[in-house]
Structures are given as structure tokens and as C-alpha cells.
Chains A and B, each alone.
Chain A
């Protein structure tokens, strides 16, 4: 049995890192009570709350947090017709928060994620670990058997080429979850009682050329390096699929990071995932995805971006063309998705014009 940490009595972090350079993006439809327990670690930071569902509902944000909140009316107002690329009635809408942010880093977390405990019982400051992961280089070109070589007490092992020891910039930090694991519906149905109690004390770089299932529950990234590729797709209302938003983004960002020589890390930090979603509801959402992913994965594994694609936006537009060309035959949904990918980039560039980006680049 694993329990969340009790953070009552823990003082707010007196030396929070990067408060002027990081936004926390939280999609919500219910309430943000979970932020009470995150106070010690998250209160110093600015929140971008993306309210999904009924815009007339009032979302209460706990006292003391500095935030901006966007509901569907705001999204429609700000993006106009381009709002069509932002999902409705699905947490995929969170990517709107990435787009409107003016910061260098984003941390996104689900509203049913609590603070975890490490094996010594100490509360895990997940954001601090994500920041460490992002500020430290990645090593995608050669696997280090002692995992993160830059960590205290670790290093590169014998045989690790010296020319690769400087590493590359880290674009994404993918955290994990104790308690309710991120299983798909069929697995949830077969193992409803399984809980993740294993705390694996490692951060590692996912090698170049390798895809992975990116979960959006506990995720941080460098917006300057990879932001435009973090589109969470078309899910939810009016769409044939759900619970593939983060997966789609994960496949796209990995192909682009591999192409641009950026790193993606996975492992620590853990959060405590408290709520198990309904597996029958999930099955209905995922159903098509389970079949489609058999085609989608080889598509991404074989996707080759051109030498001329040197910015994230260029890579993403190229990818959208490939999606239209190669996946439309799978289902007309992908034709729509490819268009939405382009709309997303147009909206991103509109909200983040290059001059403004340069000014925001350094704190």
C-alpha cells in the first residue's frame, strides 16, 4: 500500500527555482482543491488554469495562488476560428495553456495528482526535480547503464565515449506516478486493483530513435525548445477518440527532438495519482486508438524529417503533411487532425510572434 505525502506543516519553499521562467498549466473541470497540498512546492509559481466543459461554472482557486484562468469562451475569443484546434470536453484542452504562456518552461499536472513520498517518507517536490531534469543535459546518443550521469553520486560508465559526455539540451521531463498506474482500459479491466508501489530512483534519457508513451499527468518541458510540438490533438466532444492526446504529442515531440538533437528524459519525479478513471468509459474513448496505434506507431517510427526543417514549427508542419498523406486512409479523422496541427502552429505563431519570443527567451 502506498500513501500520498502529508504536506501539512511543510513551509513554502524559500528558494524556489525559476519562478519568473515557469508556468504551471492545469486543466480542470471540477475544482482545484488538490492545490492545497501542493502549496509548499507550487505556491511561488504562476498558474495557467484551462477550464474545460461548462464555462459558466465557477472554479475556485485556493487562496494565495497567482493565476490566470481561461474557459471555453476565452479560448474562442482569443483564437477565433482557430479555436477549432483546441479540444472540448477533454483534458487535451490544456495545450491552450502552453500556447498563451509567455514563459520558458511549463509544468503540467492533473488535478487528481497529489504529492508522493519517497522511500524515506519524505514529500517529493516534483517540480524541483522536473526543473533539475530540464536544466541538466540529456544523453540520447548512447545509453548510460548508471542512468542519469549528471546526478549526485553517478557518472558515465567505463566505455561511454568521451565525445558524447557533454550531452544535449533537455526538452522534456516525463515524470511517473505511484498508486494508480497509467494503464489503458483493457489492462484496468483485467487488473483493477493493481497499484504502482515501486519507487524507481532513476532519471534516464530515452535513446534517440526510440518512441515512448508520453503521459501528460506529470510533465514538464522547455517551451522555447519544443513548445510548438506539444499539441495535444483533437479529442473529446465531436471526436472519435479520447485518451490519446498526450500519446499523440509524445510521438510528435520525440520524432522532432530526435531530429533536432534534443533530449527527452523519463523517470523521477513521482506524483501520487489518486483517482482511477472508469475503465468502461475509458474503453469507449480508447477503443479506436487501440487499433489505430498499430498503424500510427510504424508511421512515427519511419517518419523522416527533411534537413531543411530546422525549427520546431517547420518540423511540425512537415509532420502534419505526412499525417495527411499516410494516415488519412486509416480514417478521415487524421485528415482533420493534420489540418488542426497546421491551425495550431498558425495560432501558436500568432500568439507568440518571433520578436516577442526573443525578448522572452532569457529571464
Chain B
């Protein structure tokens, strides 16, 4: 598949605005965002007016829009980094590409700027191969193929539900790790896309992600909020939880999740040591989540994504609810999310 074959009308680029001035961000992406429709969702807790440069086909959503759709009690579900999920909710497109507003295009080893949007769409449009690991990684890309010993019956692959990109410069490390290695930056450009095998869990980062909204949209759940959740990624876990749910549901429904290229360049922002001062409960929640997802089996009867989310929410409440109120809140949020999804998207 090549860049030329991408149908831009099938894609929404959803940007969560945690910063009011998007001039630098959007200008840096202009070449690659050109021709695409953008949805910018403003963090409802951000007070200043958004500053968006001219020349983009963009729809902006703010707290007012959220309240129109949800009623005033619900906008907390979409505060901070979770504001982007409102964009996922109201989009009408097949594919969503979402990039944090502190990231700019990266350069590949040859010095060319990486078209992250196109790479994500290519990843989503080509099959995934979760049932058997291909040692040459993506078998569908130019110059590669399935290796000897790869079963032929598995070579047509399955639909790709999500494409998880990576980051040069400031990698998505947690606060303790980054605080310990203050100078460490990711300079390693790994030239591969691969499917994360079925049943394997992974921490999906929301910084640079794309997904097939038609296939799995409702599974991108804005659910887990840390008590001290903040406006830097070190102080959140919403995307990691969302990713665990998404991967589990994708595995259950026979879809694939890819990881690897594209890279984006993540700018310096925040202070890991400062973030460490906050009581870092994310660690505890992850420890509880892992055995839960490992042993979780969704019922065979859950064939629709929405049903999978509801079943998952039930299981979270039953098995994790007593461990931490954050889990009960997450379960409730997941149920609420499906209700919202159904009501907003019922008119098709």
C-alpha cells in the first residue's frame, strides 16, 4: 500500500488541546495534515481561548459542546488528556489518528520528515498477524514477506484495529524512570511495524495512536482516572487502561494491534521529578490490572464491541472494585461511555 492510495475522506485527525496555543504544533504538521479533516477538542479545564492558525479544515469542540451532548454533569469524563475521546465520539470517519499537542514530526535516519498520518493509515489498512509471530516483522511491507515456517492459512491476516506509534526524544517513560535517568532521550529509530501477538498485553500510549473507529471505536474508553491526574503524561494512566481494554477486546474479536512506526518527535515538557512528588498510585493500579486482564475471559456471546465493553466493565467492578475506588469509577465510566456512544451514534 502506498501513500497515494490513502483516502483522506476516511480519516479524522483528533487533537486534544491541553495547550491553548496550537500554532507551533499545527504549523509543524501542516504538510502532513493537509487535505485531512481535523477535530480539535479543548480540555474543558483550559481557561484560555484556543489559537488555531488558518488553512486547516478543522472543527473545534469545547466544554460547551460537551455539555450540549452530555449534560453538564458529564464533562469531567473528558477533562485533561481524555478530552480527545470526545472527538472519537463525535467523529463520523472510519479511521482516527490522534497525536499529543506537544509532538512534532520526527526525522527518519535518512533525514526525511516522517509522515506519521500516512504511516498510521497504511498500518490500519493492511492486515495484522496476531496468531503467529513473523520474525521479519511486517510481512506486507515492501521488501519483506512471511518467513519459512509461517503457516499458510494464517497469511491473509486479520483486520487491524489499532496502530500504536512511538516517540523519539522524550520517550513515554514513567516518572520514576525518567526522574532516575533525567538525561535519557530515545535516539533509536527502529525501522519496523509489527503485530503484537494475541494474548500478549502491552502498555498502549495515547501520545501517537490511530485506530479503526468503525471496527473498535467504542473500545477506546476514557475510564481510568488517577486521583491526582495532571496535565503531563507522567501523571496519567487513562491511555494505558484504555489500551489494556482495547487489546483484550481486539484479541477476543480476532482483530490485531500493531506497534512500531511511525515515530513522532516528542518535545520537552514537564518535570519528571516534580511529577514524582505526587503520590504515584498508577503503579499500584497497574499491578492489580495485570493479573485481572491475564485471567479475564469475555463470554463467547459478546460479539459486538459495545457488549465486550459492558462485560469488561462488569468484570472490573466485580473483581477489582474492592481493590480501589478508581476501578469502580472506571467501570461506571465505561458503562456511561457506551450509553453516550450509542446515543450520539444512533442516527448513523
Contacts and interface: CB of A to CB of B under 8 A. Distances in A.
Contact of B137 (A200, A211, A243): A200
Contacts of A211: 132-133
Interface stretch (B115-123, B169-177, B313-321): B169-177
Nearest to B194: A204
Contact of A294 (B136, B152, B205, B243): B152
Contacts of B200: 142-143, 207-210
A17 interface: no
Contacts of A194: 143, 145
B190 A161 contact: no
B1 interface: no
Interface stretch (B25-33, B232-240, B303-311): B232-240
B161 to A, nearest CB: 16
B290 A161 contact: yes
Given A162-B283, A198-B144, A211-B132, A145 B259 contact: yes
Contact of B174 (A159, A207, A250): A159
A79 B135 CA distance: 35
Interface string B282-310: 11001100100000000000000000000
Contacts of A158: 172-174, 177, 203, 205, 233-234, 237, 240
Interface stretch (A46-54, A104-112, A148-156, A336-344): A148-156
Contacts, number: 178
Contacts of A196: 136, 143-144
Contacts of A212: 132-135
Contacts of B149: 184, 213-215, 244, 246-247, 250, 293
Interface residues of B, number: 57
Interface string A293-312: 11001000000000000000
B186 A153 contact: yes
A191 B240 CA distance: 40
A213 B173 contact: no
A209 B132 CA distance: 10
B151 A297 contact: yes
Interface stretch (A32-40, A86-94, A175-183): A175-183
Contact of B148 (A160, A243, A294): A243
A200 B177 CA distance: 25
B240 A293 contact: no
B143 A154 contact: no
User: Taking each of B164, B187, B204, which has the highest tally of chain A beta carbons within 10 Å of its own beta carbon?
Assistant: B204
B341 to A, nearest CB: 24
Given A183-B145, A250-B149, A156 B290 contact: no
A159 B152 contact: no
Contacts of A164: 290
Contacts of B135: 174, 176, 182, 212-213, 215, 266
B242 to A, nearest CB: 11
A146 interface: yes
B184 to A, nearest CB: 7
A210 B133 contact: yes
Interface string B130-163: 0011111100000111111111111000000000
A288 to B, nearest CB: 13
B188 A143 contact: no
A196 B259 CA distance: 21
6 contacts: A147-B190, A153-B184, A159-B282, A160-B286, A213-B135, A266-B135
Given A201-B190, A293-B152, 5 more contacts: A143-B196, A159-B237, A160-B286, A184-B149, A201-B191
Interface of B: 109, 132-137, 143-154, 164, 166, 171-174, 177, 181, 184, 186-192, 196-205, 233-234, 237, 239-240, 243, 259, 282-283, 286-287, 290
